[in-house]
Structure 1
Amino acid sequence: MKSSLDARTTEQESQDIDLAPLLDVVFILLIFFIVTTVFVKETGVEVDKPTAVSSQNLQKTVLLLAITSDGQVMYSGTNIGVAGIRSTLGHINDKDPRPLIIQADKTVTTELLVSVIDQAKLAGINNINLATVAGE
């Protein structure tokens, strides 16, 4: 009788599925997807962009700058103001030159928009674009 119990426990042990390799594969896949994910930085504010018929999509590796309807200049969720554009973008542009996209609210004055563009050019950025909504 004792030998039949030993045979049963040995049989039950051999039927168990080892989950360690499955967990290893899941963790390796998780690490792979985390490492290969491209994170796109947003400006941190919602802007009501104007409409333009000649809109085109640009690459994802760009600098994003937002001008809100109340005149705040936002970069990466922080209000840098017009005075902070030159130093912030100049430092980034020295390391990795990329195009700049300005997401200006459609109620922003032309004077403020021109000031922002001037500061960006003084920071050394040559490729400056305005974000719009594609029109018909």
Structure 2
Amino acid sequence: MRFPRRRRDPVEVNLTPLIDVVFLLLIFFMVSTTFETRQALELTLPESVSGVAAEPSPVTLVVTAEGVYRLAGRELAPESLGAALAAEAEQAREHGLVVEADAQARHADVVRALDQAGQQGIQRVRIATTESSSSDSFPRPAETP
């Protein structure tokens, strides 16, 4: 005797509710997450009038007015600055790096030095200044009668 076989409907998985749940979770995490923008180097430049003397650091980078760098008593070309900082990076990460830039040094040369320090993971960077001789650091315009 032959029994008739029941026809089974093909099994389908409805993905619409799953996609809805995933989108709701995505929206929830996007709304509840706080985004924090961080700079590579967080520097607070000291005022030369009220600057406080800091402890000396064993790693000091000098930027001359001509754009020449000096590190550990050696003169460096801009191309070799990264390699020289890499050699001193461990000590600079521990004790910090002091950048002594000449008053006539180009801004681009100082930024290049700070960028190379950031690439080496040096986060404690101080910019050396000298104490101002007068309490007025900026000249005031003359008053007109």
TM-score category, normalised to shorter length: 0.5 to 0.7
Instruction: Quote the residue 2:114 is aligned against.
Output: 117
* One-letter amino acid of the counterpart of residue 127, structure 1: R
Q: Which runs of 4+ in 1 moved over 6 A?
A: none
Q: Which has the larger radius of gyration?
A: 2
Instruction: Quote the residue 2:56 is aligned against.
Output: 60
Q: Which moved more, 1:78-87 or 1:99-108?
A: 78-87
Provide the TM-score with structure 1 as the length reference: 0.56
Q: Which moved more, 1:61-70 or 1:110-119?
A: 61-70
Unaligned runs of 5+ in 1: 1-50
- Count of residues in correspondence between the two structures: 86
Unaligned runs of 5+ in 2: 1-46, 136-145
CA distance in 1, matches of 2:90, 2:65: 30
Cα RMSD after superposing both structures: 1.9
Q: How much has 1:129 moved relative to structure 2? A: 1.1
Q: How much has 1:95 moved relative to structure 2? A: 5.3
Q: Does 1:99 align with 2:59?
A: no
Q: Deviations over 1:39-59 (max 9, x none)?
A: xxxxxxxxxxxx811322111
